[in-house]
A and B are shown apart, each in its own frame.
Chain A
Amino acid sequence: MTKNRLVLMLLAVLALALLVGCGSDDSSDDETPSVDTAVTASDCTPENLDTYKDGVLTVGTDSPAYQPYFEDEDPTNGRGFESAVAYAIAGELGFDDSEVEWAEVPFNASFAPGQKKFDFDVNQISIKPAREKAVTFSVPYYTSSQAVLVGKDSSLEDVTSLDQLKDVSIGVQIGTTSLDAVKDEIEPTTEPKVFDNSNDVVTALKQGQVDAVVLDLPTAIYLRDAQLPGSTVIGQFEAEGGDQWGAVMPKDTSIASCVDWAIESLEKSGRLEEITDKWMSESASAPKLED
C-alpha cells in the first residue's frame, strides 16, 4: 500500500513538474505585430467593426464608478469625464448613444486572459509597457499628474518640495501608478502603505495612519471637495515618464486601430479638450511641487 502511494505521489510530482516546465518555456510565443495601416473614417463604422455584440459598442468600467470620472455611479448618463469620453469615441465610430452598452468590469478582471465581455474598458488605467503583454491599450486620452493630499490642520500644508515629504508616512491606492511615482520621485524612508481603494486611503488619512496620500490629481481634488472637508491638495508632481490613461482592449483586437483613430480625431477637433475641461477643469489648480 505504501509503495502504491509512493508511486502515486511520484506521478503527481511528475505531472506538476511537466506543467511548471511548460510554464517556463517561452519560445513558442509568436506575437503577431499589429500592422498599423492608416485607418480612415470609412473603415470605422459599426458595420465594419467586429464588436463584442453586433451593432453595439460595449464599454466596460468598474463599479462603483467614482467621480469625477462618472457621476451618480451611473456610467450610462454620459456625465463624468470617462463616461463622456466613451460616448464621444462611440460617436466618432458611428454608434448612437443608444447603441452603447456598459459592462461592469472589476479592474482585476479587465486584464484576465480569455474572452472579454467588453470592446474597451475605461477605468483610469495607466498605459505601461509591462501591461501591454496582457492587453492592448488605445492611444492615451488623458495625462494625469500625481497630487499630494493632506488632512485637516496638517503640519504638511506648507510643504513646497518633494524633499520635505521624505520622512512622511504616505498612503496610496493599489494598482495605481502613484506607488511608483512615490518611490521614484519622493523616495520615502518608510515604505508607502498600499490600500485597496480610494475610500480606504481616505480613511487611513483621516485616522492618522498615514500623514499624506498620493493620488491622481483629479481624484485628489474630488476627495478634497467631497469626502475630506478641510483637507488640502498641497501640490502636484509628474511621475517619471508621465502617467497616461488609455482604454483597455482585448489583446490584438481588430477594433484597436479604430478606437485609436477615434481618440486622435477627438483630439484634433478639440472635442477631447472640451470634455477634459468640462469635467476635470480644476486639475490645473494645484501648485507644482519642486523636485
Chain B
Amino acid sequence: MTGDGDRRAARERARKARSRRGQAIAVISSIVVLGGLGTAILTSSGWPDVRETFFSAESFRTTFPDILRGFWLDIKMFMAVEVIVLIVGLLIAVVRTSRNPALFPIRLLAAAYCDFFRGVPVILLVYLVGFGLPALNLSGIPSDPIILACLALSLAYSAYVAEVYRAGIKSIHPSQVDAALATGLTRIQTLRHVVLPQAIRRVRPPLLNDFISLQKDVALVAMLGIAEAFRIAQIEALSSFNYTPLLAAASLYLLVTIPMARLLDRITDREEINS
C-alpha cells in the first residue's frame, strides 16, 4: 500500500517538474524570440523614422476621433451586408443542392452566379457596381454610393457563403434524408428539420471566417468616395505624409476581427471535443 502511494507521489512530482520545466522553456523562448525581434526593430538605424511615420502619438491623438466616427459607418454596412448574405447565400445553396428537375434552369443560374462572383476580385465589383450601375441610367437603381457599395459586397459574399452552405448540406449523409422521408416528412420538412440544422452547425467556422474577411473588405468601399474609417485615415495620412492614421484604422479593424477569430477558435475546439 505504502509502496503504491510513494510511487504515485513520485509520479506526481515528476509530472510537476516536467510541467515547470515546460513553462520555463516557454518563458525563455518567448523572451529570446520576441525580445530579439523587438531589439532588432528598435535598434535598427531606420527605426526613428519608422516610429515617426508609423507610430506618431501626436498624429494618433489628432486623427483617431474622426477615424472612429468613420468606423461606425463600417460597422453599420458590415451588419447590413452580413444579414443579406446569410439569407441570400442560404437560398442559393438550397437551390443548388435541390434535385427538383423543374428547378434546373435556376440551378444553372445559381451555379453561374457563384462561379462569376467568387471569381471576380471584390475591388472590381465595387467599382463595377458603384460606378457602372448608375451609368446605365435605369430608373429605380439607387444612386447612393453606400447602398451601391453594400450591394457589391452582398453580391460577392453571397457567392462565397452559398458555397460554404452547400458544402455543409452536402456533408449530411443521404441516408439521413432517406430516413427522414421514410418517416413521412416532406422534402421541405426534411430540409428544414433534418439537413439544414446539422449543415449550418458544421459550417459555422468557415462562415465566421468569411465574416472576418467581409469585415475587412468593407474598407474597399472607400473608393466610391464614402467617408468610412479607411478613407478618413487615408485623407489624414496623405495630408500629413504620415502613415499613423492608417495604423489607427487598422487597430479598429483588429478590435473587431480578433474577438471574432477567438470565438471561431472556441467553436472549432468545442466541435472537435464533440466529434
CA distance A20 to B41 in the complex (A): 12
A178-216 vs B, Cβ < 8 Å mask (1 yes, 0 no):
011000000000010111100010011011111000000
Contact at B23–A194, with CB atoms within 8 Å? no
Contacts A131-B241, A174-B234 given; indicate if A114 touches B46 (C-beta within 8 A): yes
A49 close to chain B: CB less than 8 A: no
Q: Return chain A residues, CB-CB under 8 Å to B38.
A: 15, 18-19
Please, which residue of chain A has its CB at the minimum distance from the CB of B59? A130
Q: Return chain A residues, CB-CB under 8 Å to B234.
A: 174
Q: Return chain B residues, CB-CB under 8 Å to A171.
A: 225
Q: Which of A3, A174, A207 contacts B143 (CB 8 A)?
A: A207
Q: Return chain A residues, CB-CB under 8 Å to B52.
A: 26, 29, 113, 133-134
Residues of B28-49 at the interface with A, using a CB-CB cut-off of 8 Å, are 30-31, 34-35, 37-38, 41-42, 46, 48-49
Give the bracket for the number of chain B residues in contact with chain A: 35 or more
Q: Return chain A residues, CB-CB under 8 Å to B50.
A: 113-114
B268 close to chain A: CB less than 8 A: no
Please, which residue of chain B has its CB at the minimum distance from the CB of A134? B241
Residues of B217-261 at the interface with A, using a CB-CB cut-off of 8 Å, are 222-227, 231, 234-235, 238-242
Contact at B240–A131, with CB atoms within 8 Å? yes
State how many angstroms separate the Cβ of B265 from the closest Cβ of chain A: 12
A16-50 vs B, Cβ < 8 Å mask (1 yes, 0 no):
00111011101011000000000000000000000
Q: Return chain A residues, CB-CB under 8 Å to B226.
A: 193
State how many angstroms separate the Cβ of B195 from the closest Cβ of chain A: 37
Interface 9-residue window, one of A6-14, A67-75, A139-147, A273-281: A6-14
B138 close to chain A: CB less than 8 A: no
B149-166 vs A, Cβ < 8 Å mask (1 yes, 0 no):
000000000000000000
Q: Which of A8, A111, A128, A195 contacts B225 (CB 8 A)?
A: A195
CA distance A22 to B46 in the complex (A): 14
Contact at B23–A208, with CB atoms within 8 Å? no
B1 close to chain A: CB less than 8 A: no
Contact at A130–B27, with CB atoms within 8 Å? no
CA distance A3 to B235 in the complex (A): 44
Contact at A128–B131, with CB atoms within 8 Å? no
B89 close to chain A: CB less than 8 A: no
Please, which residue of chain B has its CB at the minimum distance from the CB of A207? B134
CA distance A179 to B238 in the complex (A): 11
CA distance A75 to B206 in the complex (A): 49
CA distance A128 to B240 in the complex (A): 8
Contact at B240–A4, with CB atoms within 8 Å? no
Q: Return chain B residues, CB-CB under 8 Å to A107.
A: 238
A155 close to chain B: CB less than 8 A: no
Contact at B57–A24, with CB atoms within 8 Å? yes
B55 close to chain A: CB less than 8 A: yes
CA distance A251 to B134 in the complex (A): 44
- A-B CB contact pairs (8 Å), 13 listed: A8-B26, A15-B37, A112-B53, A114-B49, A114-B50, A131-B241, A134-B242, A175-B238, A194-B231, A195-B224, A195-B225, A196-B222, A209-B134
Interface residues of B, Cβ cutoff 8 Å to A: 22-23, 26-27, 30-31, 34-35, 37-38, 41-42, 46, 48-58, 131, 134-135, 143, 145, 222-227, 231, 234-235, 238-242
Known: A134-B240, A209-B143. 5 other contacts (CB 8 A): A26-B58, A130-B239, A131-B239, A179-B239, A207-B135
